[in-house]
Amino acid sequence: MLAILKTISKQRWSWLLLAASALSLELCALYFQHVMRLEPCVMCVYERLAMLGILFAGLIGASAPKSVLIRLTAFLLWGISAVWGTLLAIQHTDYQMHPSPFFTCDFFPNFPSWAPLHEWLPWLFNPTGDCSDIVWKFLDYSMPQWLIVSFSIYTLLFVIVAISSMFKNKV
């Protein structure tokens, strides 16, 4: 089993599967925003950015899966994005479960001045909603709660695949 897991990170299809899964979630977010007219908040925008990090990690890994440097870069981006996304989704859920006028998210995203993504791509990164509003539920879970599930799965898969890729092959 460990040998199978070790070889997964060296296969292009596995990295493309990672990218495709993140892309499908990004497309769902855009459907919610532009078709269902659900306004994204600042936390939604940050969570979207974390999901894009996973998407780019998959594309980077797929570009040269046999290269140790490329795989290491992809693993690093995947791990950071998955953990960051999990933490963001937990904080976002906290805003929704415990709304308070003293504990709120920002009204504007805090992107660096050299990369104002909300100005460059407002259809993707401009927040217009309130973080404490629960505007959608499925099976009684709000969107950030589903993102906790999604990012936790990405984090778990990252840990399993990354650790298994560190073991030496048996002769």
Active site positions, annotated: 41, 44, 48, 105, 131
Q: What is the amino acid identity at position 88?
A: L
Q: Which two tokens stand for residue 140?
A: 């009684």
- Residue 133 sits at the vertex; the CA angle it makes with 115 and 154, to the nearest 5 degrees, is 60
Identify the residue whose tokens are 């309130």.
130
Nearest to 81 by CA among 119, 122, 46: 46
Neighbours of 98 (CB within 10 A): 9
For 38-57, letters b (16+ CB in 10 Å) and e give bebbbbbbbbbbbbbbbbbb
Neighbours of 34 (CB within 10 A): 11
Do you know the residue count of the chain?
Answer: 171
Query: Is residue 132 a contact partner of residue 99, using CB atoms and an 8 Å limit?
Result: yes
